[in-house]
């Protein structure tokens, strides 16, 4: 009634707009809710389009009430052009952390410390170092081939010359173990550890002789407390023979050489190859030809381990046979071997496989010099951990050596970090 009254009181010029009748509506639409009318109308349009009724295209289809555009102005034409605000990147990344140099160095510490203490316990009950090393190589072979079967890595295709370089490297790998074990029989353990602590010096010298690369003064200074600290930490009964001193020095040289060659085999090839340094020394060790350096094969750490382990296993078995160790192993297996000892040896081999994977990966990421420094720090940490486990009272000399080595390792890490940061800045500027 109110609506009729309003229409009657309207001005004489007012005319009610006439809505033309819609041909698609029947009388039954009156009083029907709007959402049902819309759905019925939409279904009729769909049927009309399916029957190719041209009139259906020009129908006045009831539309939903217009709503204000809630998209930004620049996005009203295409949703693809909508620019989401850039989210701030977190200061950390799990993928970056797992792929970082500190992560693999810490993992190397853990595996190396664990295996060192495990080996000490195993060798007390199983005093056959060549056979134990052969077990490590056998576990490395089995583990590498299992991961290859699972598709963890893709082996590289190598030429005959490159395979020959790997065989030569395996000889160096096994010779390093053999010389170290033989020299231990001719010198005392403290003296052997002190000489082996000089491996970073041999690494710097070999890097200069082979590639002409120089070490910064700060890095050289940081190595002094690392090496001297090992001497104090392992201070004890120093005894050696002339032949034992020569073999220990030669073993240290082989250890540095093996670390450098491991890094080279995992490095990508460079083009053009670097020319020999003009300032290369012509003194001691200058007889080593440039062809003695293995090619850069860019091998995956697991690929290198899988190729090396069978060769190292064969060579360790040969060493054990030549030294008469295999005969003693046969007697030991017949009289004293048990299931518990067999499982302990198997677990030792599994941990050794993990250490080899971690060691090769850390070498690839950190470099040979950092690996030798890490080995020295691991050495004093082993001494400190052994004192804690077996309740051995440390002397002032041992404590001073441990502190010196740890401080030197931290100093070296800081210098290495600054060096890499400066190189990254120089690369960005260029």
Mean pLDDT of 90-113: 73
240 phi, psi to nearest 5 deg? -160, 155
Burial 56-71 (b: 16+ CB within 10 A, else e): beeeeeeeeeeeeeee
Residue in the structure block whose two tokens are 């001691």 = 284
Q: What SS3 class is residue 90?
A: coil
Instruction: Say whether pLDDT at 47 is over 50.
Output: no
Query: Quick check: helix, strand or coil at residue 7?
Result: helix
Query: pLDDT at residue 359 above 50?
Result: yes
Residue 104, pLDDT above cutoff 80: yes
Query: Tokens for 56?
Result: 């259906």
- Closest to 292 (Cα-Cα) out of 322, 337, 261: 261
* Helix, strand, coil % in the chain, rounded to nearest 5: 70, 0, 30
Closest by alpha carbon to 372, among 197, 222, 250, 215? 197
- Of the two residues 215 and 345, the one the predictor is more confident about is 345
| Alpha carbon distance 301, 155 (integer Å) | 10
The confidence band for 6, taking pLDDT boundaries of 50, 70 and 90, is very low
Q: Is the pLDDT of residue 50 over 70?
A: no
Percent of residues, the chain, with pLDDT higher than 70: 72
Q: pLDDT band at residue 270, thresholds of 50, 70 and 90?
A: low
Res 293: pLDDT:
79
What's the chain's Rg over C-alpha atoms?
Answer: 38
Is the pLDDT at 75 greater than 80? The verdict is no
- Contact between 290 and 391 under an 8 Å Cβ cutoff? The reply is no
Residue 178, class by beta-carbon neighbours within 10 Å (0-12 exposed, 13-18 middle, 19+ buried)? buried
* Spatial distance between the Cα atoms of 43 and 35, rounded to a whole number of angstroms: 12
Q: Mean pLDDT over all residues of the chain?
A: 76
pLDDT of residue 138: 94
**Phi-psi category of residue 68: left, alpha or beta, with phi > 0 → left and psi -120 to 50 → alpha:** beta
- The confidence score (pLDDT) of residue 285 equals 47
Q: Is the pLDDT of residue 101 over 70?
A: yes
Name the pLDDT band for 201 (thresholds 50, 70, 90): very high
């Amino acid at each position: 009634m109110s609506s009729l009254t309003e229409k009657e009181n309207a001005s004489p010029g007012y005319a009610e707009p006439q809505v033309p009748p819609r041909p698609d509506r029947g009388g039954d639409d009156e009083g029907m809710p709007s959402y049902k009318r819309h759905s019925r109308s939409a279904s009729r349009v769909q049927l009309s389009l399916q029957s190719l009724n041209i009139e259906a295209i020009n129908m006045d289809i009831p539309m939903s009430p217009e709503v204000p555009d809630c998209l930004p102005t620049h996005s009203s034409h295409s949703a693809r052009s909508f620019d989401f605000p850039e989210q701030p990147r977190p200061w950390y990344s799990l993928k970056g952390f797992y792929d970082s140099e500190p992560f693999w160095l810490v993992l190397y510490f853990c595996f190396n410390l664990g295996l060192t203490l495990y080996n000490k316990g195993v060798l007390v009950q199983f005093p056959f170092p060549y056979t134990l090393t052969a077990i490590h190589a056998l576990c490395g072979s089995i583990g590498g081939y299992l991961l290859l079967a699972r598709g963890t890595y893709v082996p590289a295709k190598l030429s005959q010359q490159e395979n020959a370089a790997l065989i030569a490297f395996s000889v160096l790998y096994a010779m390093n173990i053999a010389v170290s074990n033989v020299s231990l029989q001719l010198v005392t353990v403290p003296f052997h550890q002190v000489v082996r602590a000089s491996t970073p010096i041999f690494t710097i010298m070999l890097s200069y002789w082979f590639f002409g690369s120089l070490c910064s003064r700060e890095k050289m200074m940081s190595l002094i407390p690392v090496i001297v600290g090992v001497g104090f930490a392992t201070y004890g009964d120093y005894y050696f023979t002339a032949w034992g001193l020569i073999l220990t020095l030669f073993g240290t040289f082989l250890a540095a050489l093996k670390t450098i060659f491991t890094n080279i085999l995992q490095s990508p090839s460079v083009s053009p190859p670097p020319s020999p340094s003009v300032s290369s020394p012509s003194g001691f060790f200058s007889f080593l030809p440039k062809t003695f350096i293995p090619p850069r094969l860019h091998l995956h750490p697991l690929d290198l381990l899988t190729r090396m382990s069978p060769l190292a296993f064969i060579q360790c078995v040969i060493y054990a046979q030549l030294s008469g160790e295999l005969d003693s192993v046969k007697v030991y297996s017949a009289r004293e071997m048990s299931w518990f000892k067999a499982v302990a040896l198997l677990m030792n081999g599994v941990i050794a496989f993990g250490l080899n994977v971690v060691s090769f990966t850390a070498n690839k990421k950190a470099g040979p010099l950092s690996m030798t420094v890490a080995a020295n720090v691991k050495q004093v940490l082993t001494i400190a951990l052994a004192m804690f486990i077996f309740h051995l009272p440390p002397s002032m000399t041992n404590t001073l050596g441990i502190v010196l080595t740890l401080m030197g390792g931290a100093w070296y890490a800081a210098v290495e970090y600054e060096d890499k940061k400066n190189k990254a800045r120089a690369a960005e500027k260029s």
